[in-house]
Amino acid sequence: MKLAETVTFGGSGLDRSALMRADEAGLAAALEDGRGSVLPIWRGKPLMEEHDGGMRLVWVHGNHPMLADAPAERLFLGDDDGALRFAADISRWQPDDLDADQLNSFADQSLQAHPTASDGQLFRELRLAMTLLTARDAELAATAKAMLSWHRSHRFCARCGTESRMTQAGWQRTCPDCGAHHFPRTDPVVIMLITHGNDLLLGRSPGWPEGMYSLLAGFIEPGETMEAAVRREVAEETAVRVGHVDYLASQPWPYPSSLMFGCRGEALSREITIDPAELEDALWISREELAEALSGRHATLLPARKGAIAQFLMENWLADRLD
Ligand SMILES: [Zn+2]
């Protein structure tokens, strides 16, 4: 697919400078002298500010007081056209007026202002801001969010249970007891554009906003190809049989650490029987109805979320640009 790398979170070509990860002293010096700067992330929400009609990440000095709420180690993200970029997890900070219900909602619109941040610098949900960032900022934010979330949930050695240490500037955890090295996870997910002639198969999960439908998706299981996962997931969720499957485009999706493989599959059958444990509803929608839904003019279907690969694939299917 020629447009594959224009998907949100993909294709900014960040230089991750993996060879620098072992140079602890060099990276620490860069943070001291200002060649390096840090993106603070609070409970998965990067610090951002409005800029030029869009949004940008806020990078603070390595000695900024906000970082007092972070562990001592910094995650090194890479060389952003000459600026060395790091991230730090300041989730220990407790805002005074925390709205816990908003934080756990489907689309958390709450904003948090740290007392040491400048005016207009706020922690924001990345899902709501991702299409307002440049491709480079989106890649940096997705990488930092996924990596810091991995460190939070993988503190202990999976082999012996001892608390492990961040090494390689955050790209490994090493066990001080048994010496095991642990590497960050990426979980593969297939998301599929299943068509039958002029129609597209969509489903909705329980708990989604009313009227919202999207492409079917599911985790690839160990020992399975992408193509087999597409056929299995569609059969399990809707009982629709799928024949030929093609890969189209991928998208890193840091909720918390997925890599979405966008695929296209041709349905061999049309009758739908949903699995109520996975889906609340599934339906076939024509190209014409999809065009109405994406432009917000459909009577019952909501447009898919901007920035997600589902919407990217649907728009390109409508425009006949999947090749
Ligand atoms: Zn161990």
Between the CA of 73 and the centroid of ligand 1 the distance, in Å, is 20
Between the CA of 104 and the centroid of ligand 1 the distance, in Å, is 33
pLDDT at 124: 96
Between the CA of 183 and the centroid of ligand 1 the distance, in Å, is 13
Between the CA of 152 and the centroid of ligand 1 the distance, in Å, is 17
Between the CA of 173 and the centroid of ligand 1 the distance, in Å, is 10
β-strands 36-42, 45-51: how paired?
antiparallel
Cα distance between residue 284 and residue 171, in whole Å:
43
pLDDT tens across 119-152, in order?
A: 999 999 998 899 999 999 999 999 999 999 999 9
Between the CA of 153 and the centroid of ligand 1 the distance, in Å, is 16
Amino acid residing at 188? P
Are the C-beta atoms of 189 and 259 separated by less than 8 Å? yes
B/e letters for 107-127, b = 16+ CB within 10 Å, e = fewer, are ebebebebeebeeebbbbbbb
DSSP letters, 48-102, are EEEETTEEEE--EETT-GGGGGS-S--EEEEEETTEEEEEEE-TT---TT--HHH
pTM comes to 0.93
Between the CA of 158 and the centroid of ligand 1 the distance, in Å, is 7
Are the C-beta atoms of 91 and 153 separated by less than 8 Å? no
pLDDT tens across 20-71, in order?
A: 999 999 999 999 999 999 999 999 999 999 999 999 999 999 999 999 999 9
Between the CA of 21 and the centroid of ligand 1 the distance, in Å, is 22
Half-sphere exposure at residue 129, Cβ-oriented, CA atoms within 13 angstroms: 29
